[in-house]
Each structure stands twice: as structure tokens, then as C-alpha cells.
Structure 1
């Protein structure tokens, strides 16, 4: 997505590293909560909501790249302001975190989880479309949707279905 958005290779690498490390704060959340197959209690969800702050604190110790804290801290903010931990909205959310939010959601939807099976590409596109302007920055949701559609077209051509 960062390449498609026109970022330099250096910035793409930074955002890639942020993506790898954005959930490091989950190390402080018990596995029973992370892997719970049913709905979380209010207390369990409160514990989950601590992971962005924990992750930012852990990553703040890497003095060579202070921006690593951005994605960890802000990746659960929502474009409409209903996210956490700070309730930021729109362009007040750092752009790198808005990219990571879409990528993280794609990863969650396309992976099997303890509480549900992975979604189909069509279902993921529908969820990204539904979340544009509310959960996601529309620009980055559109980029992810375009990437997914192009990937599907490429696979069909390789398989001789187009």
C-alpha cells in the first residue's frame, strides 16, 4: 500500500517495519484472552485495549527509529474517531497508522482465528468497502481493494481463466 501511495523506498521500508512490530504490545496480554473463541468480557476487552500503549512503550526504547511507536500506538484508531486508545479521527491519526490499520484488518480477515474462519476475498472487499470513512481511511481502503482485485485478475490470467 505504501508503494501504491507513492512513498519513497525508504519510507516503504519504515512502514513495513512498523507493520511487523505494531502488535508487539500483545506480549502483555494473556494468551487466554488473545485466543479466546467467544466474545470477550468488558474486562478482557479492556486488557486488549492496553496493547497499543504497551507496544509503543516497548518500541520507544529503540532510539534509532522513534517512529516505530506510531503504528503500535495508533493502529486501532478509527477514521470516524471511535477507536482507541486516544479517540483520534481522520487526518489526526498518523498516516502510517492509517495504512497499518487497513493492512492489520486485512490480515485478521484473511486468517483463521480462534473465533471464526477466514473470510473470502469478496467478503474482505465488502468489509473494507463498508469501513471506508468509518473504520478506515478511504484512500488506503481503496488502495487495498485495488491490490486485491489486481491480484485476483493476475491469478486468473496465470490459471488461464481470463
Structure 2
């Protein structure tokens, strides 16, 4: 069975639908990629990855404890397109979190996706708050830092990756404003 946006949505709903806030975040992230990518490089793969980017939070997929890796491993087992798997594995500064958690070797199982497509996923993820409401990029990053204690690997990773995340989001935003 091939991967479509509908299949990705259904997979995410099955795994995350019981978590209303996370599900709302995922829905908004996918909607933003659809509306902002408008036929750009990786458009369909990008929307599929947006639907699936947080499935690793599902307790059914818990393996390493890092949602990006756990979700990507699951998708690889289901033969999702390699670019979708890599987008899920590397979304929103995952390499920083993998380093903080000591799981860089596990992240290296996956190829790094093309940066322009990854930038688009990062932008959509940062514009969608944890409850699916619109957020400014800096507000979303500040929110992530407030939700985790300074000793938590996510807090440390977001602190270290802030410049990268902001630059990625700005590149994607600039590209989406360019005439086709």
C-alpha cells in the first residue's frame, strides 16, 4: 500500500488521536505544510511527514525514548518513503536532542533529509503550538523551554539548537514568499 496524506493522517490518528492536544498540534502542522508548500520541492512527502512527525510519542512505539527516532523506526518498518522517514527522524533539531540523550548512533541509522524540505517541516512545527494554536516561532521555542526543566535533555537540546531552528524557519519562510 502506498503512502498518501490520507494514510499518514489515519496512521497518526490511530496512534495519537487519544491525546487531543498532540493530535491538534499534528493536524495544524500538516495543514500549515499543505498551505505553505504549494507545489514546492517535496510537497507530498512533506505533508505526509507532517502528519507523522510526532507519532513516536505514542506509548505503542516507545523504544529509545526519543520520539523522532522511535517514530522513524516504526515508519521504516512500514516501508514509508525514505524521505518521509528521514524527515521524521531529523525534525526540529532532533540531532541536538539525540546528542543530549546519548542516542546519536541510533539517529545515524537514518539519512539526513534535504535541508530545504526539513526547513519547511521545522517551520510548520514551530508555528503550531502544543495544543494546535498558532504561535510565533520565538514564542514556541520559549514555550518548549518552559515546559521542560533546565536539566531535561529536551530543554538542553532546544537551548543549543535555538539558532539553528530559527534560521531553518526563516529560510523556509523566505522560500515560501518567493514567486513560483
Quick check: which one's helix share is greater? 2
Normalising by structure 2, report the TM-score. Answer: 0.45
Report the TM-score when normalising by structure 1.
0.49
Between 1 and 2, higher relative CO (CA 8 Å, sep ≥ 6) is seen in 2
